[in-house]
Amino acid sequence: MKKLTFIKAALIVITIIPAISYGQNQLKPKADMLKLIDKNFTDADKQYRLLIHHVPLDSMAETFEHNKWVSVAANNWVSGFYPGALLYLYKATKDTTLYNEGIRRLKVMEPEQKIDSHDIGFMMNDSYGVANQINPNANYKQVLITSANSLSKRFNPIVGCTMSWASQPGQFRVIIDNMMNLELLMWATKVTGDSSYAKIAITHANTTMKNHFRPDYSSYHLVIYDPATGAVIKKQTVQGAADESAWARGQSWGLYGYTMMYRETKDPKYLAQANHIANFILTNPNLPADKVPYWDYNAPGIPNVERDASAGAILASGLIELSHYTDVANAKRYMDVAEQIIKTLSSPQFKAKAGGNGGYILMHSVGHKPKNALVDVPLNYADYYFMEAMLRYKNLDKKAFLQ
């Protein structure tokens, strides 16, 4: 990675430091919402005190299915959400039992900083990154920088993206989920002064904006490129109902990702993209009144199909952040929806009873419906983003609301 001169480094850092502007919005949390959120965290603390006793020491909690606890290896894309959720719970409750468990799990994940995976941002930023927010230290920082280096190796400058999955010969595959991994690269430029990481993230975001989105700002799940020319070969929606459908979690990834890129760059095209995606979701005729999406906005059989709590939780967290950057009317619109999602996910329809659901907070998420994998189950990332959304809401009127 090329080091910048001091002056150039300073300019880069200035452009990507979050500069949250409240303007006329003056967003403030509501008392009834805070009461609900505090109750959720109290209940979640008890749930996770149950869950931690059912996770093998060398693995990470993923789900509870068919009355069995299911764990995954540290190299799975969802691995970081378990320690991240434990650390988010500590932020909310100061329960040191959960904090210590989260820190212990980090050691299991530490070797993954060198993994060859496009999901390393999910894995490391959502575990080590949260730990570094709570207690910044040199080891966490180095693990995250090494992780950013690992992710950077998957970048193809001809395509203009980091590669997803293990691509076939003659193919370079990129999924919308990759927008979530760019935050690790933006962070790495901030802390090292090396612009190479941010340049990769920005190029990837621009390429994805150009090729992943339809005219209505819904997104494909997968775009396959020619690695030699950068030409688009095919567009698909692998985890959705059909190639031209709007897979719900994918739409939430896009909104969250472009909101984050606006935060880090202050480039207005990213804010415009996030607003367009939000408008597609919020005006979609198949968005339920309670605002927690079906697993695909075009799923055959709506309304008699599965909901996806994970897509709702990601959406709520993204909308809460986006509300800080947009105009007053949209800020209220986004916050109203985020509040409704939190309320819906806090209801008995989605929130598990005490001692149930294997210790997870939320029921009714969908992993990969076309493969009939992880359908209508709790998922660790649904809990993670639900906690993140609630923490962001609690800190609405604080300048460091993302912390």
Tell me the catalytic residues. Answer: 119, 177
β-strand 373-377 against 68-72: which pairing, if any?
unpaired
Q: What span, in angstroms and rounded, lies between the C-alpha atoms of 64 and 104?
A: 22
Q: What span, in angstroms and rounded, lies between the C-alpha atoms of 270 and 206?
A: 9
Strand partners, 225: 172, 232
Helix, strand, coil: what percent of the chain each, to 5?
Answer: 55, 10, 35
Closest listed residue to residue 277, CA positions, set 301, 243, 250, 302? 250
CA angle (378, 249, 218) in 5-degree steps: 165
Enter the tokens of residue 100: 């210590």
CA of 113: how far to CAs of 71, 304, 369, in Å? 20, 42, 30
Q: What span, in angstroms and rounded, lies between the C-alpha atoms of 167 and 170?
A: 8
Indicate the angle between helix axes 328-345 and 268-282, nearest 10 degrees: 50
Residue type for position 305? V
**Furthest-apart CA atoms within the chain: distance in Å:** 59
